[in-house]
Structures are given as structure tokens and as C-alpha cells.
Amino acid sequence: MEPNPTSVSRVVGQPIVAPLTRAAIFLVVTLKQGTDTRATLRSFCGDLSGIFRAVEYRNIEAGLSCIMGIGSDAWDRLFGLPRPAELHAFREIRVGARHAVSTPGDLLFHIRARHMDLCFELATQIMARIGNAVSPMDEVHGFKNFDDRDLVGFVDGTENPRGEAVADAALVGAEDAAFAGGSYVMVQKYLHDMNGWNALSTEAQEKIIGRKKLSDIELDAAVKPTCSHSSLTTIEQNGKEMKILRDNMPFGSAAQGEFGTYFIGYCRTPRTLEQMLENMFVGRPPGNYDRLLEYSRAVTGNLFFAPSATFLESMGHD
């Protein structure tokens, strides 16, 4: 069972608010059927911190971090009750050719470091430990591009919260006290039509994104279309902008002509993330959709909950 601390300060969180890094691996797996799966993975939850420390110590200055997220069905299989108040399966959206797909995924490992070698070593050790209990669904190796730009040429993550606002945006608080310090995590893998995108003028690209390409300055409201990406992903509630923490990464294969962005967003409630997707795919109002989707296609979609490290430790030693 989840510990019931008397204060949030006693809960040790996963490193959700750790500094962004130059390299990352996004690893999504599903649970195999079998009587040993539950025991193997609960034991692993208790051992993950030790596995992490063993890899981290090989280059302590490289900023290695690892966040483990659990999907809705997997939560029921592994932990049962209680469960995070808003955890559910990823909600698919389909409007004509625009499709926010829902794909299989029970566990997420978001591994970050300044260097890919540490990310790869930790992913290898994790799979060596749980490989008999899971099936790999997706593994993406992300990298920071020039000037923190995605492969369509624009800076990604400009509006991330900073300072104390990071925890306020990303971490569950007293509204679900049993899971305080955790975070809801949405991931989507997008593939880009670079030939189509590069055929556009810089001005046309800027109107789709809602920012100047070179300076990253937001377009003036008088000229920024209401269907721009930045307009539709700005969510307000009661006059306050609702923030998420993004750590998107470019990825690709030059030989295969694959160019993409791996979207990952952390938030204290999945409602903010889901409203962003609704605005993008359906439109605000309906039909006023994100024109970036004419050049960028989602091929995966998952929602997870990343509980506190305190919770994971307790599951491995009950």
C-alpha cells in the first residue's frame, strides 16, 4: 500500500523537475501475462534506485536521471488500490485525417543524461532486470538539436515553467494526497513530412507555429493565427494559464529518411494535456485545428502516472 505521509515533504519524488539534458531514451514496454510478472516488477520497483545509482556513479557529473511511469491497466495489475485519482488509458482522438492514436504501453522509462552512453547503459540494465516480464513496444533515442530546436527548425519548450512554478505545474499536491509528488505523463511520437514542410516559406511556417523562426519571439496577436500551434496549446482556466513541463526531443534516421519529435509532457492533471490535444486535433472552435498536423503525424500515444520514489520503494519491500 502507498505510505500515507503526514506531509508532502516526507515524500521523495522522482526527478521530474531535473534539468533538461542533451540526450534521452524513451522506453515503452507492455507487461507479459504470467504469474511471475507482478512479483518481478514489484521487486524491480524497490531495486530501481540501486540500479540507477550503480550506473550514475560511473559518471556522476553527467546528470543521469530516470523516471518510471505506469499505465492505467498496469497499475491495476501491479498495485491495485489505491490508485491515482485521474489515471486512465490514453484517449484517442480521430477527426478526418487527423488522428491522435492510442498505442500499447504499460510502463514508461524516461532516461536522461548529458551523454547517451549512460542512458543506454541504464536502459540495458533495466531490460536485463525485467526483460522476462515485459515486451518492448517502442524505444526512441532522442538528442538535443542545434539551439534547442526541433527538426522543423523552431525552438521547442520556450514556455516551460521556471523556478517554483515547475513543481506547481508538474507535481500532484494535496488534491490527491496519497500520490503527492507524482505526475501524469503523456507521450506521443510524431513523424514529420520534411519535404512538405521545407517547401513552405519561412513566413508560412511562422504562422503555423506562432513564433518567429530565428528569434523565437511570439508573433504579435494581430498577425498570429488562432489556429497556430502556440495559440492552441495555450490553456487558460479562470484567467490563469495552465502550464505543463515539456522535455521533447528530436529523433530520426538519416538513412531511412525518418525525422520526428518525441513529445513528453508532465502535468499535475491529465486534463490540461488532454485539452491541448483536443484543441490541436479537433480545433478551438472545432475545425480551427493545428495546421502543424498537416506536416506532423502522431504514431504513438500513451498516458502514464509517475508516482513518487517513496511509493516505488515501498512496493518493492512490502
Given this model, what pLDDT does residue 19 score? Answer: 84
Given this model, what pLDDT does residue 314 score? Answer: 92
Per-residue pLDDT of the chain (318 residues; tens, 9 = 90+): 334 433 444 678 899 988 889 999 999 999 999 879 999 999 999 999 999 999 999 999 999 999 999 999 999 999 999 999 999 999 999 999 999 999 999 999 999 999 999 999 999 999 999 999 999 999 999 999 999 999 999 999 889 999 889 999 999 999 999 999 999 999 999 999 999 999 999 999 999 999 999 999 999 999 999 999 999 999 998 889 999 999 999 999 999 999 999 999 999 999 999 999 999 999 999 999 999 999 999 999 999 999 999 999 999 776
Is residue 63 within 8 A of residue 113, CB to CB? The reply is: yes
Given this model, what pLDDT does residue 4 score? Answer: 42
User: Which residue do the cell numbers 509532457 mark?
Assistant: 265
Query: What residues have CB less than 8 Å from 76, skipping those under 6 apart?
Result: 83
Is residue 87 within 8 A of residue 72, CB to CB? The reply is: yes
At 90 the three-state DSSP class reads coil
Given this model, what pLDDT does residue 318 score? Answer: 62
Pairing type for strands 240-242 and 245-246 reads: unpaired
Query: What does pTM read for this prediction?
Result: 0.94
Cα(92)–Cα(144) distance, integer angstroms: 29
H or E segment to which residue 306 belongs = strand 302-306
Cα(172)–Cα(188) distance, integer angstroms: 22
Cα(218)–Cα(225) distance, integer angstroms: 12
Handedness of CA 47, 118, 133, 67 (dihedral sign): positive
From residue 76, alpha-carbon distances to 33, 84, 88 in Å are 14, 11, 11
Angle ∠(297,299,302) on CA atoms, nearest 5:
120
Long-range pairs, 314-318, Cβ under 8 A, ≥24: 314/1, 314/2, 314/3, 314/46, 315/42, 315/45, 315/46, 315/78, 315/79, 316/42, 316/43, 316/44, 316/45, 316/46, 316/47, 316/48, 317/46, 318/1, 318/42
Q: Among 92, 44, 99, 90, which Cα is nearest to 71's?
A: 90
For the record, the C-alpha cell of 26 comes out as 524513451
- φ, ψ of residue 45 in degrees (nearest 5): -55, -40
For the record, the C-alpha cell of 301 comes out as 500515444
Half-sphere exposure of 240 (CA within 13 A, CB side): 8
At 109 the three-state DSSP class reads strand
Given this model, what pLDDT does residue 34 score? Answer: 86
Given this model, what pLDDT does residue 11 score? Answer: 77
Exposed/middle/buried for residue 304 (C-beta within 10 Å: 0-12, 13-18, 19+): buried
Instruction: Just list the catalytic residues.
Output: 156
